Structure 1
Amino acid sequence: MKNKKFPKWIAPVALFIVVMFTVLFFLQKLLMPKYMSDIVEGALTEEYYEETTDHEVIFVGDCEVYENFSPITLYEEFGITSYIRGSAQQLPWQSYYMLEDTLRYEKPKVAVFNVLALKYDEPQSEAYNRMTIDGMKFSSSKLGAIQASMTEQENMLDYLFPILRYHSRWSDLSSDDFKYMFKKDKISHNGYYMRVDVRPVKGFPEPDKLADYTLGSNAMKYLDKMRVLCEENGVEFVLVKSPSLFPHWYDEWDEQIEAYAEKYGLDYFNYEKMAEEVGIDYNTDTYDAGLHLNLDGAEKLSKYFGTYLKENYDLTDYRENPEYEKVYEEKIQFYEDMKEAQYKELEEYGEIINY
């Protein structure tokens, strides 16, 4: 029986396809934003996948988690292992899919959601969507996040094949795009974005009066989906409102979250109202006039919240675990090195310029 011979054209066509996809892969890597020297928050999402140990506490939410809680402090003070899967203007549905994505890799004991984003009931901005979603690994969770987040001008293909969206960045390429094409610098501390500078609160305009203070049905639907997801996976679900003075968090919104937490037996802490009890001083503990906490403020809040977590949930003290102790020794050193570098910049230039 004679061996069948493949047509001669198959080999060159196959080679062409391989070369074409290889070139497209490299071009996509080059053209995608790197978020290293500008808007570094866009690099937060993908850093999670570099973790080598599990976390018993997972935070999801917007800048009010990734700038206001310090996982390194939680470890140093209590031995709590935690990670902040936060991103800029992370919307409720994005937090849901981020939590769902996290459960593909590990099973935390506690999930913490910051409620400010519930003020949004529909997709907002492609730029912020990208900063949250592009860094997610491909999965059904990422597909869900894309579908729920797209504005009317966006489409699924541009997310699945980012080169379709970023092909016109040629004129904006910089040395960073080549330097960080395959490996980026680490910019966070288990998802925490550090700032040591101080800019006291000077006051905000009176908040606008709203025609309707009811939190949107879509936002509340995803809050409920997070709660159910946690129940199904044996994860305690905790709600917080960080001590931030802007954007305004209305009392009417707060009452709705209090009622929701009471209905389902959830812990809810409005640290904006408890700022004095926590020890927050808006003259010294914020770096941008009350929008977010600086390092001193984040460490105060983390110690306060960590005390509650330790006393009320069955969390392990991983400082007694040799494997974790070794990992966190490096994390703590990175934390201290960045802190020292930022204080040095403040002394030399009067501002933080590289973070």
Structure 2
Amino acid sequence: MPLSKPSPELRHIALRLAVTAAALVIALAGISRIVLPKHNQDAHGPNNYEAAHGIFAEPENSVDLLFLGDSETYCAITPLELWRDHGIASYISATGAQRLPLTLSMLNRVLGCQRPKVVVLETNCLFRAVTPGTVARQTANDALPVLEYHNRWKTLRSDDLTAAPFSIGTADFKGYRLKTGVSAADDSSYMTPTMDSESIRSLNRWYLEQIADVCRSHDIKLVLVSTPSTVNWNMKRHNCVQQLAGELDVDYIDLNTGKNRAQIDWSTDTFDGGDHLNLNGAKKATAKLGEILRNRYQLPDHSGESAYRSWDEAYARYERVVNEGAAS
């Protein structure tokens, strides 16, 4: 029996619903443009993304090394030490508890204004569960940022109507979060040898593959890096990432073990019992990683270039804060 055609009345209702939905999406897109933070300071945004988004205020195509990941990244690596020692222009676009859908989103957004030669992905985020719900939320936030920044109406300013998102004021420490406290870690079972390997979720692996493909398509070297942590890292995870790196044909650097191990003193170099590094630990991890990156990937040395004078100024501010902290 042939299906009956919908009545003119039903077709009219369906058309009105479609037009209303389209108008709503257009309106939300316009509102999204307004509520997206334009500044990279805490007063202008509701989350911890401000330092990570400071890269969008950097001069176009000026950053050669991009760091992505979660809080392990922004506590363990200090770009201005890389600048002082090697003249490397790097930036950390990491966020707390970052999951891979956000990592991929951040990478794609950064590539709209920067062309890094190397992307470092800190590996702790590979083990943060990615679920269909996580994917749906990130997809919605990417399409309509008002869903994420819906509370920003409380802090809107006149320049929110005209300025580009995250375009005003880069983060002084290039994404690094300076911590100077000390809370010793128990490292008695840290990196205990084993042949076992931790498993990775299928969605996590799929997102890592997408990140690798994006880097490959832009002629960017993707490097997986495990920063020192007694809480988050062990040989099971090392074995898993080492195998993944081989299967995806990407480089892997583990600062927790082997010839690339950073010489962390777990009685002095962590501020929260081995979860994250403090400034002392970050200096050691950065020095070790900087040597490897400089020797292996021939990143440009921009020391003395007039176009990078602001990096010297940023380092001077960083050094002043570090020295004041050491003296206090």
Superposed CA offset, 1:246-295 (max 9, x none)? 23x35333222111212333221221225994221111111222111111
Q: Which residue does the alignment assign to 1:335?
A: 318
Which of 173, 197, 218 is matched with 1:189 structurally? 173
Tell me the amino acid that sits aligned with residue 174 of structure 2.
N
What secondary structure does 2:274 align onto?
A: coil
**In the TM superposition, what is the alpha-carbon distance from 1:312 to its structure 2 partner?**
1.1
Residue matched to 1:118? 126
2:54 aligned partner: 47
Amino acid at match of 1:49: F
CA distance in 1, matches of 2:188, 2:41: 34
Q: Percent identity?
A: 22
- Which residue of 56, 75, 87 maps to 1:67? 75
Q: Report the equivalent of 1:233.
A: 218
Q: What corresponds to 2:231 in structure 1?
A: 246
- How is 1:73-112 mapped onto 2 (pairs within 5 angstroms)? 73-112=81-120
What's the CA shift for 1:197? 2.3
What is the 5 A alignment of 1:268-279?
A: 268-274=252-258, 277-279=261-263
1:221 to 201, 206, 214: 206
2:244 to 231, 256, 260: 260
Q: Using the alignment, how far apart are the partners of 2:121 and 2:36 within structure 1?
A: 32
Q: Once the two structures are superposed, what CA deviation does each residue of 1:101-130 show, in whole Å capped at 9, x if it has no partner?
A: 1111121111100111111232599xxxxx
Letter of the aligned partner of 1:47 in structure 2? G
CA RMSD of aligned residues (A): 3.9
Spell out the pairing of 1:105-184 with structure 2 (5 A cutoff): 105-123=113-131, 148=135, 150=137, 159-162=144-147, 165-166=150-151
Unaligned runs of 5+ in 1: 1-20, 126-146, 171-176, 207-211, 348-355
Quote the Cα distance in structure 1 between the aligned partners of 2:326 and 2:88.
27
Q: What's the TM-score once normalised by structure 2's chain length?
A: 0.73
User: In the comparison of the two structures, how many residue pairs are matched?
Assistant: 286
Counterpart residue number, 1:296: 280
Residues 238 and 267, structure 1, Cα contact 8 Å, conserved in 2: yes
| Structure-2 change in CA distance of 1:163 and 1:254 (3 Å) | closer
* 1:56 and 2:64 matched: yes
1:322 is the counterpart of 2:306: yes
Q: Which moved more, 1:266-275 or 1:94-103?
A: 266-275
2:294 counterpart of 1:310: yes
- Deviation per residue, 1:47-81 (Å, 9 max, x gap): 22121261111111001111100110111101111
CA contact (8 A) 1:109 1:234 kept: yes
How far has the Cα of 1:334 moved from its partner? Answer: 1.9
- One-letter amino acid of the counterpart of residue 265, structure 1: D
Query: More deviation in 287-296 or 44-53?
Result: 44-53
> Per-residue displacement from partner, 1:189-240 (whole Å, max 9, x unpaired)?
111111122222256999xxxxx94210100001111111111111111001
Residue in structure 1 matched with residue 163 of structure 2 by the alignment: none
Cα 1:69–1:277 shift into 2, 3 Å: same
Q: Name whichever of 185-194 and 287-296 sits farther off.
A: 185-194
Deviations 1:280-318 (A, max 9, x none): 111111122211111121111111111111111121110
Q: What letter matches 1:314 in structure 2?
A: Q
Letter in 2 for 1:106: Q
Q: Which moved more, 1:42-51 or 1:95-104?
A: 42-51
- What residue is the counterpart of 1:10 in the other structure? none
**3-state secondary structure, aligned to 1:285:** coil
Q: Distance in 2 between matches of 1:164 and 1:266?
A: 35
- Structure 2 CA distance for aligned equivalents of residues 270 and 77 of structure 1: 21
